[in-house]
Amino acid sequence: MERGGADIMLQKWGRLFGLACIVVTVVAAIALTGLHRTAQSSAMNKGIQPPDVSAKSVFVLNADTGEVLYEKNPDEVFRILSLTKLVTAYILVDRMGDRLSETIKINWPHLTGGSSAKLKRLDVWTLQDLLYGMVLVSGNDASLAIADAIGHDLLASEGKRGDTAKATARFVEEMEAAANELGAHNASFADPYGLSPKNAATARDMGLIAAKIFVDPRLLPAWACTERTLHIDGRQPRTVELKTSLEILGEGTVIGAKTGSHVSKNIYNLVTAWRAPNGQTIVGVVLGSKSHPARYDEMRAIVDSAPRDFPGLGAAEIATKRAPTDTCH
């Protein structure tokens, strides 16, 4: 009787041991699968070397899938100059996208140096017209007026008041927060237009920012626009003609671009977004190209190479609802 009981106990322990082995095997298989998927994800998110370029840093990203296509020194921090305005535009539509018809009266503090959208003291501009003034001709004055309007709106929501300087400082704080939310953790800002050397980021930072901005239906018409006529109210009502100087805009399937330049310091940056043959949105960043023409030629080489290096981009167009990009008038 005792021996039979022992045999039964041994059988039970044997079954339990076998079950435990099965559990360990399944857990191990799941763990290995997870590691494999992690490895696949890491591989997918590390790009290959881009075509031969003079740019010191390159980052190219599929905005629809998150796949990194090309990269070269993507995590070194550079001055970004007017690429700063990508973030200014994003905050404008994110904060006041349904209020772009609101107006702001232009005054002396808005008339900053550098590139200009032809703002004059006591003009009355809508936020939408300021957006086009910033995007088409890279107007520092338009950028500052936008920052002032949004900065005051932010201060009011916090029960605070302030002048243009205080409102702009509050806006710059919002730029840092917005960039961080978009994954651009190395980006830093000191003004809304890019003159300060403290406005800096990596190519990866700018790629992540661009991947958000160039698929935003509220901004696409502005990025795709090459010229626009504005009707400005105020002390001197007039018509203002804006025409982009972006050479790559309108080529092929390019849907938007922004330069950042400092000629005396030989700094030439470019961010561009385009549609791949399969309809997906690709964003490319080149920082520190050797010349103004080089940055455009290098971006064109990247655009041409992508479908060859990544055959999936050359497949039949994927059915994706896209915002119109031809509403500029």
Domain membership of residue 85 (yes or no) is yes
Give this prediction's pTM: 0.84
Spell out the long-range contacts of 19-25 with Cβ–Cβ below 8 A and sequence spacing 24 or more.
Answer: none
Domain membership of residue 295 (yes or no) is yes
Distance (Å, rounded) from C-alpha 157 to C-alpha 21? 61
CB-CB contact of 192 with 169 (8 Å): no
Domain membership of residue 53 (yes or no) is yes
Distance (Å, rounded) from C-alpha 288 to C-alpha 54? 8
Half-sphere exposure of 92 (CA within 13 A, CB side): 31
The residue written with tokens 């237009």 in the block is 193
Active site residues: 82, 85, 138
Domain membership of residue 322 (yes or no) is no
- Give the other-Cβ count within 10 Å of 108's Cβ: 9
pLDDT for the residue numbered 115: 86
Distance (Å, rounded) from C-alpha 311 to C-alpha 192? 39
Residues 6 or more apart whose CB falls under 8 angstroms from that of 77 comprise: 186, 200, 201, 202
Domain membership of residue 39 (yes or no) is no
Domain membership of residue 136 (yes or no) is yes
Domain membership of residue 159 (yes or no) is yes
Q: Residue 246's closest CA among 279, 288, 289, 292? A: 292
Q: Residue 225's closest CA among 76, 328, 87? A: 328
Number of structural domains (the chain) is: 1
CATH code (residue 292): 3.40.710.10
Q: Residue 109 belongs to what domain range?
A: 48-314
Per-10-residue mean pLDDT, the chain, length 329: 47 49 40 33 70 96 97 98 98 96 96 92 98 97 98 98 97 98 97 97 98 95 95 96 95 96 93 97 98 97 97 73 51
258 annotated ligand-binding residue? yes
Triad 217, 219, 222: Cα angle to 5°: 125
Distance (Å, rounded) from C-alpha 16 to C-alpha 105? 80
DSSP 284: E
Q: Residue 305's closest CA among 43, 49, 56? A: 49
Domain membership of residue 25 (yes or no) is no
